[in-house]
Structure 1
């Protein structure tokens, strides 16, 4: 059995290759199905579970509770505000109970503090209270969407200038939107809470996904330069194979520490911020690697195959061959 390094060398030289471009319809179909499931699943589940930072509301934290039974908090809040929507979670490795509700009045907040202190057998000073207004929450949402839009426009413009073709830029942005929709869909379907930390994770994976795509596209530009005997599709496919091992290695190296942070943050420390950021990064890096290999490059090849100059060049290069010259 050939070693992994020999396998990578065979992919780079073209001695061995996977037909990513030739099977693009399969990858596109898988991507479309995944997007439909992500959007449809989120819609059927009732939308995203937005954190209090986006919706506004009241938050109570019970430190050092005698027990961590979440139903006690729900019952305590229901005694004061029967119709309040309550979310209870255990944080800080079980050392605290976090209770989030709709925005309540000052009098109601004091009554809820008293009820929580009694329910968990802690002094009143161990039950803290804070609130976030709906206006501030809407400002955060607007700022996050604005940051996303500005990033996408800026990245698209820079890539179009760098590669001197808008089609590479469009393919990269479409693959990036695929990553965002799938990652957000996982949050929506599973019911993970979307917090500012999760949004930071979303924005971070945009940079990672684009970086991986740009590396592949740079190799595509090199392979499709004049003087090669390969067709355009073959050159694109070779570029993906040449960078395949690098993409896999980079993703594994990136996923390992993120997985460690996710485990430590969620399981050992109970740190919500670490968990939210690491979870978004973990999903996004995995999906981003897939989209770079199976979506971005094949999509770019498909966008260029209808151009007159590409068709003429491919016909000229294919004419002397006894076969269609498809990659193995």
Structure 2
């Protein structure tokens, strides 16, 4: 943990960093593929809506039933003519949910089901939901989600700016699409608890996004008065500065949710926990991802389209190019100063006569006749 803390401190001080914004096209591509997969799952499989949204009946048996879940499914299908969702509760009772049936036929289905289960029909509890009431609940859920989105955009536009509001909205739509797509792919039932989970993870996703946006807003107050950093550079610094914090809060939030989903819903068989735990688990992970890889890089893309930011980018790049040229010239000068005499290479390839050869061969004196 101390190493992770040291890493967070170094990231916050800018000693090390990862280029999240520079590689934003990679993150956009990954998110696009995941979103397309989620949409295909929604189109092909659709959502397994609970009776609260499409109407139906829930029958609960007495405790310690000896009938298996598979047998109860078969009995419910025979009585209603439709597929049923059967869950075994902790006290040994069975929860038999049949969606999309007419409430006028509920008594007949109840009597047939009680006969097959070999229990008194009075001991078989029945909760009925009419289709019109279920449709009303579904419409109210969509209205609540839409109002939530509008309020979020208005708040972020006032507190920060409209570009950050747009980026946050895109990140929220990204998180909702992925979460609902996972529900369609795995076939978990969508209940009011699922809607509560969705609203919860949207708030959590906004929390991570607002933390980065607040840091970005603080660091870009007088950005046009300097020529050292572009807007994308400061956006990347903001992500790195809050990265370890986002990871820590996400992991801490995911641990209890993972316990609900994998231990409570999977190992212990408490299927009623799946509707809310899956939305929380997938949504928390998607929200942490979108706040780092989608929202802030998208803000940088939108901001750098402004004329002021374009001019700033040109000045920063020009200054960096000038500094690189001066450094290269200084390096070349040092290299020339430290090199040997320039005449040495020229003389190295020539045959230099030796001392004896320079004096020439001594000749004997000529005799005069």
Same fold (TM over 0.5): yes
Equivalence for 1:149: 146
Equivalence for 2:278: 279
Equivalence for 1:19: 19
CA distance in 1, matches of 2:270, 2:48: 19
4+ long deviations beyond 6 Å: none
Q: Residues 67 and 49 (structure 1 numbering): CA distance in 2 closer, same or farther, change over 3 Å?
A: same
Equivalence for 2:178: 182
Q: Residues 287 and 126 (structure 1 numbering): CA distance in 2 closer, same or farther, change over 3 Å?
A: same
- Aligned residue for 1:320, secondary structure, equals helix
Cα distance, 1:238 vs structure 2: 0.5
Verify: 1:197 aligned to 2:193, yes or no.
yes
TM-score, length basis structure 1: 0.90
Cα distance, 1:119 vs structure 2: 3.6
- Aligned residue for 2:16, secondary structure, equals coil
Verify: 1:103 aligned to 2:126, yes or no.
no
Larger relative contact order (Cα-Cα within 8 Å, sequence gap ≥ 6): 1
CA distance in 2, matches of 1:194, 1:38: 16
- Aligned residue for 2:90, secondary structure, equals helix
Equivalence for 2:236: 237
Within-5 A mapping of 1:22-33: 22-33=22-33
Q: Which stretch has the larger CA shift, 289-298 or 314-323?
A: 314-323
CA distance in 2, matches of 1:166, 1:213: 14
Q: Gaps spanning 5+ residues in structure 2: where?
A: 325-369
Q: Residues 133 and 313 (structure 1 numbering): CA distance in 2 closer, same or farther, change over 3 Å?
A: same
Verify: 1:38 aligned to 2:38, yes or no.
yes
Cα distance, 1:253 vs structure 2: 1.2
Q: Residues 7 and 56 (structure 1 numbering): CA distance in 2 closer, same or farther, change over 3 Å?
A: same
Q: Residues 292 and 79 (structure 1 numbering): CA distance in 2 closer, same or farther, change over 3 Å?
A: closer
- Greater gyration radius: 2
Equivalence for 2:260: 261
- Aligned residue for 2:82, secondary structure, equals coil
Q: Gaps spanning 5+ residues in structure 1: where?
A: none
CA distance in 2, matches of 1:100, 1:69: 15
Equivalence for 2:163: 167
Equivalence for 2:134: 137
TM-score, length basis structure 2: 0.80
Structure 1 vs Structure 2 CA RMSD: 2.3
Q: How many residues align?
A: 319
Q: Does the 8 Å CA contact 1:172/1:210 hold for their aligned counterparts?
A: yes
- Aligned residue for 2:199, secondary structure, equals helix
